[in-house]
Amino acid sequence: MSLTSKAIDRIAPSATVGVNTRAAELKAEGMNVISLAAGEPDFPVPDFAQEAAIQAIRDGKSKYTAPDGTPELKDAVRAKFKRDNGIDYDRSEITINVGGKHTIFNAMMATLDVGDEVIVPAPYWVSYPDIVQFCGATPVIVECPADAGFKMTPQQLEAAITPKTKWLVFNSPSNPTGAAYTKAEVAGLVEVLRRHPHVWILADDIYEHIVYDDFEFVSLVQQAPDLKDRTLTVNGASKAYSMTGWRIGFAGGPKPLIDAIRKLQSQSTTNPCAIAQAAACAALQGPQDFLADRARAFQERRDLVLSMLGQVDGLKTVKPEGAFYVYPDCSGLIGKRTPDGKTLDTDEDVATYLLESEGVAVVHGAAFGLSPAFRISYAVSSEVLEDACERIQRACAALT
Ligand code: GLU
């Protein structure tokens, strides 16, 4: 009898977490590694969030909380959705979870049955299809190539919907490409969704504050309030407030779904960390003006990485509208030989070569469902980024 379940055997370890962990191990072993693997901002956690965590510890706020979050944090999240997205949620329509990934995992676990389908535009964040598969459902991958700006068209969405479709996963700005849908583009998808009332929408807005060149982010329910009763609007503290390790994700959605998530969470984590909840509450309630400053810093980094990768023969990079990722097409490197005489057959070979030859960790495109490419997370300082891009230039120039 097999030790592992069929469910666990259906999924792979997360490639983003895996490459990042490997890069940290190599660094600890003394290798000069620059990790562009993790989607993790290098900025500090805002002081006021740090202070709130320390105060919560001092005040003894270290007991169990309600399974799906404290009333204080739920109210802070409600105020955030109102302030940033113009969406009104009741407290009973809010759930707090152990990171955005956990929010998505819970939502899928609470709703999917074998045979259900979930539409996932590719390139996708690594965990979407695996979470769906873990639940025994089927990811329906819609390929959105670079020449379409990595965006799904209304026609593609229409063609992907079947009577079995349970969810559309909609992530804008996107991980791993940084592509963000304009209001007009969202409107086009909304038209299709209106025709298919059985389809739920998981709007993953985690990168909403990181947009460039006056791009105007719009949350799906903000654009289409009539879809509110079948949309889960997902967000979290990780990317905006650099609170990746604190693990606070949250969502607003219809009460029956929120209730189901609470039931599941009461049987798994019991509650998200009480101290992290207090910190996230302060992060959401404090001054928010630094978010625009950080977005400007990310934009400078984006421009730096685009200009330096633009000098590399064999790479083609689309200019992203948001997030902190670029997704260069590396088809021009496939078939080339490394100084060690190895042929680069896949984008995983390219990523391995960059790591072994120059100590730059990136995540191969196969993990995100569109190859050959790789993902660079430019959430590092400009100095580190410049060094990393010089290394990539050198590694690519050494290929024959
Ligand atoms: N979301 C980030 C990334 O894509 C963090 C790691 C993960 O959870 O995938 O790198």
Pairing state between β 165-171 and 117-122: parallel
Proportion of the chain above pLDDT 90, given as a percent: 100
- What does the pLDDT read at residue 386? 98
**Does 265 reside within a domain?**
yes
Confidence of residue 145 (pLDDT cuts 50, 70, 90): very high
Q: 208 CA to middle of ligand 1, Å?
A: 16
**First and final C-alpha spacing in the chain:** 50
Q: 38 CA to middle of ligand 1, Å?
A: 6
Partner residues linked to 337 by β-bridges: 343
Confidence of residue 324 (pLDDT cuts 50, 70, 90): very high
Tokens of 292: 């625009």
**Does 1 reside within a domain?**
no
- Does one domain contain both 196 and 327? no
- What does the pLDDT read at residue 154? 98
- Does one domain contain both 116 and 263? yes
Stretch 216-237: mean pLDDT: 98
What CATH number is given to the structural domain containing 95? Answer: 3.40.640.10
Stretch 2-31: mean pLDDT: 94
Q: 21 CA to middle of ligand 1, Å?
A: 11
pLDDT tens sequence across 331-380 = 999 999 999 999 999 999 999 999 999 999 999 999 999 999 999 999 99
Side-chain half-sphere exposure of 305, counting CA atoms within 13 A: 28
Domain around 235: 47-285
- The answer to whether 80 and 284 have CB atoms below 8 angstroms apart is yes
- Does one domain contain both 157 and 238? yes
Confidence of residue 206 (pLDDT cuts 50, 70, 90): very high
Residue of 22, 101, 243 to mutate, ligand 1, most atoms within 8 A of C-beta: 101
Number of compact structural domains in the chain = 2
- Does one domain contain both 67 and 123? yes
What CATH number is given to the structural domain containing 330? Answer: 3.90.1150.10
Confidence of residue 171 (pLDDT cuts 50, 70, 90): very high
- Does one domain contain both 119 and 22? no
- Does one domain contain both 70 and 206? yes
Confidence of residue 95 (pLDDT cuts 50, 70, 90): very high
Residue 225, preceding peptide bond in cis (omega within 30° of 0): no
- Does one domain contain both 205 and 313? no
Q: 119 CA to middle of ligand 1, Å?
A: 20
- What does the pLDDT read at residue 166? 98
Q: Whose CA is nearest to atom 1 of ligand 1?
A: 39
- What does the pLDDT read at residue 385? 97
**What is the pTM assigned to this prediction?**
0.97
Taking the CA of residue 377 as reference, the ligand 1 atom at the shortest distance is 10
Confidence of residue 234 (pLDDT cuts 50, 70, 90): very high
Partner residues linked to 360 by β-bridges: 34
Q: 4 CA to middle of ligand 1, Å?
A: 25
- Does one domain contain both 281 and 340? no
**Does 310 reside within a domain?**
yes
**What's the angle, vertex CA 299, arms to CA 293 and CA 302, rounded to 5?**
150
- Using CB atoms within 10 A of its CB, is residue 28 exposed (0-12), middle (13-18) or buried (19+)? exposed
Q: Whose CA is nearest to atom 2 of ligand 1?
A: 39
Q: Whose CA is nearest to atom 5 of ligand 1?
A: 39
Residues 6 or more apart from 202 whose CB is under 8 A from it?
Answer: 104, 107, 167, 168, 169, 170, 231, 232, 234
Taking the CA of residue 17 as reference, the ligand 1 atom at the shortest distance is 6
Q: Is 136 left (phi over 0), alpha (psi -120 to 50) or beta?
A: left
- Does one domain contain both 204 and 254? yes
Taking the CA of residue 126 as reference, the ligand 1 atom at the shortest distance is 9
pLDDT tens sequence across 33-90 = 999 998 999 999 999 999 999 999 999 999 999 999 999 999 999 999 999 999 999 9
Q: How many residues does the chain have?
A: 400
Partner residues linked to 119 by β-bridges: 140, 168
Instruction: Give the end of a domain, one of 250, 270, 285.
Output: 285
**Does 138 reside within a domain?**
yes
**Does 57 reside within a domain?**
yes
- Does one domain contain both 319 and 224? no
**Does 269 reside within a domain?**
yes
Instruction: Give the end of a domain, one of 257, 285, 313.
Output: 285
- Does one domain contain both 134 and 257? yes
Confidence of residue 272 (pLDDT cuts 50, 70, 90): very high
- The answer to whether 204 and 104 have CB atoms below 8 angstroms apart is yes
**Does 68 reside within a domain?**
yes
Taking the CA of residue 127 as reference, the ligand 1 atom at the shortest distance is 9
Q: 353 CA to middle of ligand 1, Å?
A: 22
Q: 16 CA to middle of ligand 1, Å?
A: 6
- Does one domain contain both 340 and 270? no
Instruction: Give the end of a domain, one of 253, 285, 317.
Output: 285
Q: 196 CA to middle of ligand 1, Å?
A: 31
**Does 124 reside within a domain?**
yes
- What does the pLDDT read at residue 36? 97
Pocket lined around ligand 1, Cβ cut-off 6 Å: 14, 16-17, 38-39, 101, 125-127, 175
Q: Would you state the torsion angle of the CA atoms of residues 121, 124, 127, 128, taken in this order, to the nearest 10 degrees?
A: -10
